[in-house]
Amino acid sequence: MHDTARRGLDGARHLSRGSKRDTEPEAEIDGVRIHRYPLRAATGGPAGYLREYGSALWHTARLVRKVGPVDVVHACNPPDLLFLPALWLKRRGARFVFDQHDLVPELYLSRFDRGEDLLYRAVCALERRTYRTADVVLATNESYRDVAVRRGGKRPEDVFVVRSAPAVDRFQPVPPEPELKRGRPHLLCYLGVMGPQDGVDYALRSLAKLRDELGRTDWHAVFVGSGDAFDAMVELSRRLGLSEQVRFTGRIPDADLVRYLSTADVCLSPDPRNPLNDVSTMNKVLEYMAMGRPIVSFDLKEARVSAGDAAVYAPANDEAQFAGLIAELLDDPEKRARMGKIGQERISGPLSWRNSQASLLAAYASAGDPDRAGKRPRR
């Protein structure tokens, strides 16, 4: 249930053992050979990520030597370290498709609030090396594409926008279940990762203002998902006195997720404006839209590109305005219905996977074009 800007899990975890049932080191599914390795998620700030990514890089390099000759290596980020095994494969004739899920320098600034220190300069250097090694770059939106061209020195024709798109067959509304509202008239829903940059704390403070400043107690809220800020957010909810009105589910099966989203009156996208979020596409926004749910979001550049009129937008990081917009939507069921329909039309139209699929196939055609092999990006 990874969130920002992204077609999948981050580069290290995408190759690791994803669940308890996915424990076999090697498997074959529909003719695809899969090699997995164990990985412990990072804890403890930057040092924890160095340990996680170092372990992931070692295991990836070990497995790369087992898979034999390849024509194309496709690696995503973060971290911007997988250019190293990709470079080893390139020297043996492979082409490298860099699937950029995050802008790691912006992620570092947004997550750790340490400024442009030595580690920040290091992640910038790794990004530059990744761009330099890549033959083709997949960007999740036009903002990321601009970075690849402007900061990464890539030729525009070598950068393809492949937007995230929800699996529509996974997000099919079912009849609402009023009991999920816990005796309240309305249900609010958050879906996604709970990390320091994801804004769950902004959502909780907004809900406290909705109750205390606007006098609204006619709602129950559910937060679906997990992450390294999960425990801190449960504690913040307790300190704000929201424990009776807010439930944290953790990760749940798809069927339960669909039940909550089908019942929700308003969905929340509280990502605050920071260097990363303003230019990132949020998967939860697209999933809310696929389910026909109206959205309250902060005013972020790429949030508007994705949601358009399927969302209402509070000034960046203004929790009182965010609360006010929730109240307005709760009082206007017709507007909620219109917004939900707009979202579904956008997901089945301009934001559909069909369009992204065409761009992805074009990227692979470019990567496999022998006339383009060996061309180097501008420095």
Q: What residue ranges define each of the domains in the chain, with the CATH number in brackets?
A: 11-165+353-367 (3.40.50.2000), 178-348 (3.40.50.2000)
State the pLDDT at residue 111: 85
Report the share of the chain in percent with pLDDT over 90.
73
β pairing state of 246-250 and 219-224: parallel
Give 293-330 pLDDT, tens digit per residue.
Answer: 999 999 999 999 999 999 999 999 999 999 999 999 99
* Partners of 295 in the β-ladder: 267, 311
- What is the Cα–Cα distance from 300 to 277, expressed in whole angstroms? 7
**Band of pLDDT at residue 370, cut at 50, 70 and 90:** low
pLDDT over 60 (residue 185): yes
Are 341 and 310 spatial neighbours (Cβ–Cβ below 8 Å)?
Answer: no
Quick check: pTM over 0.85? yes
Q: Which residues are CB-neighbours of 157 under 8 A, at least 6 positions away?
A: 366
DSSP string for residues in 31-68? TEEEE-B--PPP-STHHHHHHHHHHHHHHHHHHHTTS-
Looking only at Cα atoms, what is the longest distance across the chain? 66
CB atoms closer than 10 angstroms to residue 374: 8
- What is the Cα–Cα distance from 168 to 172, expressed in whole angstroms? 7
Give 186-233 pLDDT, tens digit per residue.
Answer: 999 999 999 988 999 999 999 999 999 999 999 999 999 999 899 999
β pairing state of 32-35 and 72-76: unpaired
- What is the Cα–Cα distance from 117 to 109, expressed in whole angstroms? 10
Residue tagged 């220190």 (tokens): 117
Give the 3-state secondary structure of residue 267.
Answer: strand
